Amino acid sequence: MRKNSIFSIGQSVGPVPTCEVAIAANFREDIKFELNWVYLVCFYRSNFTNAIDEICGSQPLEICDSQPLSLTSSSNTPVSQENQFPKLPRPPKGTGQFGNLRSVDEIDPKYRHIFTYRYFNIVQSSVIEDALYSNKSIVVCAPTGSGKTVVFEMAIVQLLMELEDINYSGDFKIIYMAPVKALCTERLTEWHSKFTKLGLLCIEVTGDTDVEFPQLKPYRIIITTPEKWDMLTRRWKDHRGLVEAVKLFLIDEVHILNDEIRGPVLEAVVSRMKTIETSVQSAHRIEQVQAQFQGADIQCPESSPRIRFVAVSATVSNPEDVAAWLGNREQPAAYYKFGDECRPVKLKRVVEGYPCPNGTSIFKFDIILNYKLWPIIQKYHNGKPTLIFCNTRKGVVLTAETLSREITVTFNQEQKIKLDALASTLKNKKVQSLILNGVGCHHAGLLYEERTNIEQAFRNRDLPILVTTTTLGTYKEKDGASKFTTPYL
């Protein structure tokens, strides 16, 4: 058993400036804890208005196959970009700026519907120069819930504006990569409504979908996982045109590079995409030289945008190293690091430690700790929904069963009806009985629809406790949610 656990705790050293160079707005100080076992307990403040005021001031926030480039509707019918969006002069930088906060008014009007508020927050305002007004690769480390997804959306808008400016007529693809299917599905739902208005069709390509390369041709935004994209691109030369069309590569939760199992997959995928880009650029240069000797006119490689990488994470400790890896000699990547002062919802961390008795095995100790959960939940949850993370599916079931025997939940009539309806849709009898007792299970062993329904019940506060694996490791921090982790050994 490893007794030394290291936690990094943010310490603010000043305000986050807006600039085009690498920003390190927050330094980390390693603090060592010598514990046999700890629980990490987190819960969030429910008053969003005060949280926003603290961050933003008193002003409230209103919260490649060469094919002609054509916009398509949801029915795959080509739509004229000229008729749909008349080309108008773009607003100048800084239009409507409020203090350090940049305004959505400076976004091109035809893309403004993507951003459903008036001002960008401090994180988004700090990175907007690199994200929206340059094509350099960037890495952003910022707290969960601080709006990192908007950085991706800025990068997509930047690509669309660049293609428009150079009158690009070739095919292009945007890859969004996340480590868990739940996050991919969430992104598909959100982006489908935003980008189909621009003619950008979105598709989810994960283990839950059966999609082959030829089927991806009409889609501009491909939402996938590292494992699935790795499988699809291993024989990329068989579909060279489609892979070469990738112009923007978005990496969510880039800290999985440090994972012993999944990290090498992500590293292989990114390295492969960089190799493909190098191959394409070299081929273009050769064609250009040959054309010069033959006196022919050929399109310069610079007229086709190079692939751009945008990576975000809430926990990566060395964004500068990731940026050095994602960048290139001609254009190094920028990196941004923000601390907890940029959180939209304040987070309180509590660590509870328990000694492991001599002669007790790890497995037995893990079971003993399940009986410590309910007193901890009673102490910290304050009547809020509780989310508990476990390392394995078996751990999820054991923890849920232990809690189900120890707790008594009182439901109103409406909640009872909803939970009865939810339980009737589940095939697993054990999970059914747990749901009826107010404890939900969520892991990859459940069907996709079952997981989605259980998630929704928890979000609606009909299910007070949800025990899950990392399938919900990227769960958004919402008002009134408490988080508990299983032991760190």
Report the pLDDT averaged over residues 113-121. Answer: 93
Kindly report, residue by residue over 252-295, the tens digit of the pLDDT.
999 999 888 889 999 999 999 998 888 777 776 777 777 777 76
Q: Which residues pair with 11 in a beta bridge?
A: 27
Rounded to 5 degrees, what are φ and ψ at 292?
-65, -40
Confidence at residue 486, expressed as pLDDT on a 0 to 100 scale: 54
In this prediction, residue 224 carries a pLDDT of: 95
Per residue in 161-182, pLDDT (tens digit) is 999 988 887 889 999 999 988 8
pLDDT of residue 46: 34
| Paired tokens of 289 | 């030289």
Beta carbons of 302 and 288 less than 8 angstroms apart = no
pLDDT tens-digit series, residues 339-352: 888 887 777 888 88
Give how far Cα 427 sits from Cα of 47, 357, 450, 456, Å: 39, 39, 9, 18
pLDDT of residue 200: 94
Mean pLDDT of 137-148: 92
Angstrom distance (rounded) from CA 70 to CA 138? 28
Task: Decide if 342 contacts 122 (C-beta within 8 A).
Answer: yes
For residue 4, give both structure tokens. 């030394």
Q: Are 102 and 125 in contact (CB under 8 A)?
A: yes
Confidence of residue 473 (pLDDT cuts 50, 70, 90): low
Question: 210-224, 264-278, 459-473: which range is least confident on average?
Answer: 459-473
pLDDT of residue 484: 59
Closest C-alpha to 122, from 93, 151, 95: 151
Q: What digits encode the pLDDT tens for the residues 44-98?
A: 333 333 433 443 443 333 333 333 333 333 333 333 343 344 556 778 877 877 7
* Domain residue spans of the chain: 54-342, 354-485
Q: Which residue has the higher pLDDT, 29 or 401?
A: 401
Can you say whether the dihedral through the CA atoms of 78, 84, 89, 92 is positive or negative? negative
Q: Is the pLDDT of residue 17 over 50?
A: no
- The chain-wide mean pLDDT, for the chain, equals 77
> Is it true that domain 54-342 has CATH number 3.40.50.300?
yes
Residues 104-122 have a mean pLDDT of 93
Per DSSP, the residues of 379-438 read HH-TT--EEEE-SSHHHHHHHHHHHHHH------HHHHHHHHHHHHT-S-HHHHHHHHTT
Q: Fold match between 54-342 and 354-485?
A: yes
Specify the amino acid at residue 195: F
pLDDT for residue 41:
33
pLDDT exceeds cutoff 90 at 115: yes
* pLDDT score for 1: 40
Q: Which CATH number fits domain 354-485: 3.40.50.300, 3.90.1640.30, 3.40.50.720, 3.40.50.11540?
A: 3.40.50.300
Strand 202-205 vs strand 173-177: parallel, antiparallel, or unpaired? unpaired
